[in-house]
Structure 1
Amino acid sequence: MAVYHCVLFDLDGTLLDFGAAEHGALLETLEHFGLPATEQTEQTYRAINDGLWAALERGEIRQEKLVVRRFEKLQEELGGTQDPVQMNAYYLAQLAQRADVYPEVENTLRELAEVATLVVVSNGVEHVQLGRLERAGILPYFDGVFVSGKVGASKPSRKIFDAALHSLGIENRKKVLMVGDSLRADVSGGAAAGLDTCWCNFKDAPMPEKEKPTYTITNLEQLFEIVMEKEELANVGNPDKRHLV
């Protein structure tokens, strides 16, 4: 049996390159609504958006308000008069079409799916995240997808973790690992829900002083040695042998 029977994955910044997807979707949105599709506009939007998502994690704003408010604030900065509701709808439609997958993702999921239950736990809009998972071709590897917009709770709230584990009938949290790139949403959130955590430090950031992950990795394939037993590790990359389960 694997060391961890269930692995919860964050999506953006962990499996999918959200920066690339956001860049393309935002430029298309700005051009469509006749706004300046410049680097400065993009930086302004990202500062607004990042600030609002941080507020969401602190419980200061609801997600349905956030997704419209970011375009309201952008209009205020640019002096625009476009409908922020329409802008958000268009942006989300463009975002759902983009699935920029990190290179090692499919191999990692293929190997881990033979020894553990794999689940997505993501902050975001459900139809957008599902669309991106489908386009990326990795949706079949997961036994469940839990998105904050559908669940009604956002990471780091333990409610979204509880909802996922309850739905899957998983009771032993010592055998569950949360994997993600956000120290607050994934590491602190997972730990508060009684889970071991793995920080995806893909950008070689300094080790945090407060949030202490159980593990830290710089490449997703390092999860093999964390999740698998020795016998299972011996079968990694061997197409003729299945892992022991």
Structure 2
Amino acid sequence: MSRNLIIFTDSGDTIIDEGTQIFDERGIVVSADPIPGAGEVLRQLKEEGYRIALVADGAWESFQNVYRENGLADCFEEWIVSETVGEQKPARAMFDAAMEKMGLTEAHKSFIVMIGNNLSRDVAGANRYGITSVWLDWSPRYFHTPQEPDWQPDYRVKTPEELKLLIWQLEEGCGRKRELADRIACKGKQPFPI
């Protein structure tokens, strides 16, 4: 089943518990565990037909190692990694790369959510880009109070299970947007691009 909502997600302390990372001598993560429930939620969203892109800062090899080890590599339609993009979030280039790789246009922005643990990178980047920001406030490692106006998330959840429920609610809202757009298209207006 195809879904209306498109998911961009960070990795560290959003899906993978940074506290469990094991590094090699080059600084590459060779092993790490998902945060409780995150692997199951990611797999379920993929199986339910959501298009999911990894949009994360770090080394390509680290993400490959961790997601293969945990049997989650196939959950992502695309992998947008700062090492290959050449910039880190909140840089626009990360989101531009995700849009391009996923074949998305400006018209899709109201259907995209960015999920992340970092207010200054994930949330600020999504807010500046004009997509919905979801803060997974699970980890004690980063800021917990917005220090800039664009660090304020659209939504805040504490666990992957809460995230799944939010995704379902947002999907329902996207379905209503899509129905409205389809009705407008039937009245001779420009067809909706999804």
**Same fold? TM cut 0.5:** yes
State how far apart, in whole Å, the 2-side matches of 1:198 and 1:150 are.
Answer: 24
Q: Which has the higher helix share?
A: 1
Choose from 88, 103, 116 the match for 1:169: 103
Where does residue 228 of structure 1 map in the other structure? 168
Pair 1:195 & 2:128 matched: no
Partner secondary structure for residue 94 of structure 2? helix
Aligned partners of 1:104 and 1:221 also within 8 Å: yes
Displacement of 1:111 after TM fit? 2.1
Q: Which moved more, 1:181-190 or 1:205-214?
A: 205-214
CA 1:16–1:177 in 2, change beyond 3 Å: closer, same or farther?
A: same
Pair 1:135 & 2:69 matched: yes
Pair 1:13 & 2:13 matched: yes
CA RMSD of aligned residues (A): 2.2
Where does residue 122 of structure 1 map in the other structure? 56
Q: Which has the higher strand share?
A: 2
Give me the identity figure in percent. 26
CA 1:177–1:230 in 2, change beyond 3 Å: closer, same or farther?
A: closer
CA 1:193–1:136 in 2, change beyond 3 Å: closer, same or farther?
A: same
Where does residue 118 of structure 2 map in the other structure? 182
Structure 2 spans left out of the alignment, 5+ residues: 173-194
State how far apart, in whole Å, the 1-side matches of 2:127 and 2:170 are.
Answer: 26
Displacement of 1:231 after TM fit? 9.7
Pair 1:105 & 2:105 matched: no
Q: Which has the larger radius of gyration?
A: 1
CA 1:168–1:137 in 2, change beyond 3 Å: closer, same or farther?
A: same
Aligned residues: 164
Displacement of 1:179 after TM fit? 0.3
Displacement of 1:98 after TM fit? 0.6
Correspondence list, 1:198-217, <5 A: 198-203=134-139, 206-210=144-148, 211-217=151-157
Structure 1 spans left out of the alignment, 5+ residues: 30-86, 233-245
State how far apart, in whole Å, the 2-side matches of 1:101 and 1:225 are.
Answer: 19
Normalising by structure 1, we get a TM-score of 0.61
CA 1:230–1:179 in 2, change beyond 3 Å: closer, same or farther?
A: closer
Aligned residue type for 2:16: L
Correspondence list, 1:48-59, <5 A: none
> Which structure has the higher relative contact order (CA within 8 Å, separation 6+)?
1
Q: Which moved more, 1:191-200 or 1:203-212?
A: 203-212
Displacement of 1:221 after TM fit? 1.6
Q: Deviations over 1:171-229 (max 9, x none)?
A: 21110000000001100011111110000111477542531101000001212232225
